[in-house]
Structure 1
Amino acid sequence: MPSTTRISVVIPARNEASSLRVVLPRLADLLSDAEIIVVDDGSTDDTTAVCGLSNVKYLRHHYPMGNGAAIKTGARAALGDAIVFMDADGQHQPEDISAMLGKFEEGYDMVVGARQSGSHAGTHRALANDVFSRLASWMVMQKIEDLTSGFRVVRASKFRQFLYLLPNGFSYPTTITMSFFRAGYSVAYVPIHTPRRIGKSHIRPLRDGVRFLLIIIKIGTLYSPQKLFLPISAVFFLTGLGYYFYTYMSSGRFTNMSALLFLAAIFTFLIGIVSEQISALHYRDIEQTDHEEK
């Protein structure tokens, strides 16, 4: 990065003292001039003591608020023009940051570390990430290599424009990626490999499986609501049409079920139109803010 560009590294952490003992010294060696911020999300281990032994800015939540909340706390406190977000569990390798910053230097607004095959993310998580990425790629009509990776470099001023949209939980990467695409900001990917994490994961398959559908809905409503609601409306309409044809041929009448399906198709279509307008209003304000900053 150019010498005039200040770099901040934000690391959300909850009970990750064992991995921080390894990660923080490596970061200090590789990025000696960078501001390193550890946001302790209500840890009950000795994270405070570990951070006290390193030259880092230590911020603490009094109780667990979520990974996304820690990201927002770190982004607000960061002084750098570019912010590197990485996990504290040892899966994100500090040695990969130089390649990501090199790509960022080319003028991109966000560079994401895209996990390659062989990375230790867990089978169910890898499958979910693949589904998310394919859906998002269809939404934006561009290839998204890794939608849910939390290892990324962002232009701080542009990232902060979307803080109010970011959830407090684990789906902030999805939200920020789609927001950058929707706002017309440039996004690039750098391949990375993630080793097995140190310590126990905070992800719960059953609980986070419920978030699967919520994230899909969020992707649709953030970027292009009609791409989500129009197919659903079409399914209702075609089902109603098919059922009407069946009942007309079998009993010569138009049933209440067919009417209900047709109404569902109309209402879903109208909801999509309203969502499209609300989405446009969100990004209109962001475009105005970006223009004022320039």
Structure 2
Amino acid sequence: MNSLSIILPAKNEARALTDLLPKLRAAQPAAEIIVVDDGSTDDTPQICAHSGVTCLSSPYSMGNGAAIKRGARAARGDVLVFMDGDGQHSEVDVARLLAKLDEGYDMVVGARDWGSQAGVGRGVANTLYNWLATRMTGHAVTDLTSGFRVVRAEKFREFLHLLPNGFSYPTTSTMAFFRSAYLVAYVPIKAAQRVGKSHIRPLRDGVRFLLIIFKIATLYSPLKLFVPASALFFLLGCANYAWTYVHEGRLTNGSALMWSAAVIVFLIGLVSEQITALLYTRFGR
């Protein structure tokens, strides 16, 4: 039987942890529980000590992703469970995710339904992220940003160097697992209303999520970005040529520049694809 470590990144989540930690200990008595205190100014360390769980404290905040990386390095379990420390995730669902993992998967993600989204704006944004990630990876992604997931430790640690220190480690880890042909499954969950105030700023972190998607796409599937961009330049050049030919009877520099850009972007994509293939061959993925 695999040993289990439960990792909860927390920043000023003492109120939620007071209720969650005893329930989590009762539900998974044999598990190692690690709370990564990301520079909290409340009673998080005292709450952890009272509950008999490990607390990794930082004198200042380094971000959610940094907390995840610290917890993953410190954990001794063969299987890692990541949960938010804000009370949104239920200790009851841990067993459901673990049962799915035992079916042969490498990562199981708790997928929130629409009713579990924190407002219509977040729901629409997450739907967009899921669609983009599905297009990039070629696999169905039903909840790209869920922080509730179960993974096999040795495989998750392969990608620690890719994880950002801020948001969003779920985005990066999900897409990296798909790229490496590791098996990923989703289990529907109901997320409760968080206790306290969210640390996510929708506009700023929404842009960061999109940038992470594109960064990971260029890391392992560059042509899925470069080919559409190349095709767009080519079509714009054709459209500009058709317009100028009809109205002026000539080929303009604008069309030539856009066709040249199409060729350059496509060739950059080919080179990026070869570099990516060499990178993953080197690491045996």
TM-score, normalisation: structure 2: 0.95
Aligned residue pairs total 285
**C-alpha distance after superposition, 1:119-149 (max 9, x if no partner):** 1422222212111111222233322211111
Distance 2:2 2:278 in 1: 32
Match of 2:105 among 104, 108, 122: 108
Residue 62 of structure 2 corresponds to residue 65 of structure 1 = yes
Alignment correspondent of 1:183: 180
For the Cα contact (< 8 Å) 2:167–2:208, is it kept in 1?
Answer: no
The 3 A distance-change label for structure 1 pair 193 and 222 is: farther
Distance 1:267 1:211 in 2: 27
Residue 140 of structure 2 corresponds to residue 166 of structure 1 = no
The 3 A distance-change label for structure 1 pair 182 and 62 is: same
Match of 2:123 among 114, 121, 126: 126
Match of 2:227 among 227, 230, 237: 230
One-letter amino acid matched to 2:52: N
Runs of at least 5 residues in structure 2 that lack an aligned partner in the other structure: none
Distance 2:121 2:12 in 1: 23
**C-alpha distance after superposition, 1:42-86 (max 9, x if no partner):** 111121111121111111222111111110000000000000001
Distance 1:131 1:95 in 2: 29
Distance 1:238 1:5 in 2: 55
For the Cα contact (< 8 Å) 1:175–1:218, is it kept in 2?
Answer: no
Match of 2:284 among 283, 287, 291: 287
Distance 2:154 2:107 in 1: 11
Distance 1:33 1:137 in 2: 36
Identity %: 61
Alignment correspondent of 2:139: 142
Distance 1:181 1:226 in 2: 16
Deviation at 1:223, TM superposition (A): 3.8
Alignment correspondent of 2:5: 8
Distance 2:217 2:223 in 1: 8
One-letter amino acid matched to 1:159: F
Runs of at least 5 residues in structure 1 that lack an aligned partner in the other structure: 289-294
Q: Please identify, of 159-168 and 55-64, the stretch whose mean Cα deviation from structure 2 is larger.
A: 55-64
**C-alpha distance after superposition, 1:185-224 (max 9, x if no partner):** 1111110010111000001122123224313312421442
The 3 A distance-change label for structure 1 pair 23 and 281 is: farther
Secondary structure class of the residue paired with 1:9 = strand
Deviation at 1:163, TM superposition (A): 0.6
Alignment correspondent of 1:245: 242
Q: Please identify, of 245-254 and 27-36, the stretch whose mean Cα deviation from structure 2 is larger.
A: 245-254
Distance 1:234 1:270 in 2: 12
TM-score, normalisation: structure 1: 0.93
Residue 182 of structure 2 corresponds to residue 199 of structure 1 = no
Alignment correspondent of 1:46: 43
For the Cα contact (< 8 Å) 1:89–1:199, is it kept in 2?
Answer: yes
One-letter amino acid matched to 1:172: Y
Distance 1:117 1:145 in 2: 11
Distance 2:209 2:237 in 1: 28
**RMSD across aligned C-alpha pairs, in angstroms?**
1.5
Alignment correspondent of 2:29: 32
Distance 1:285 1:180 in 2: 17
Alignment correspondent of 1:56: 53
Match of 2:274 among 269, 274, 277: 277
Distance 1:59 1:80 in 2: 16
Deviation at 1:286, TM superposition (A): 3.5
Distance 1:264 1:274 in 2: 15
Distance 2:278 2:91 in 1: 38
Alignment correspondent of 2:207: 210
Alignment correspondent of 2:264: 267
The 3 A distance-change label for structure 1 pair 44 and 28 is: same
Distance 2:111 2:164 in 1: 21
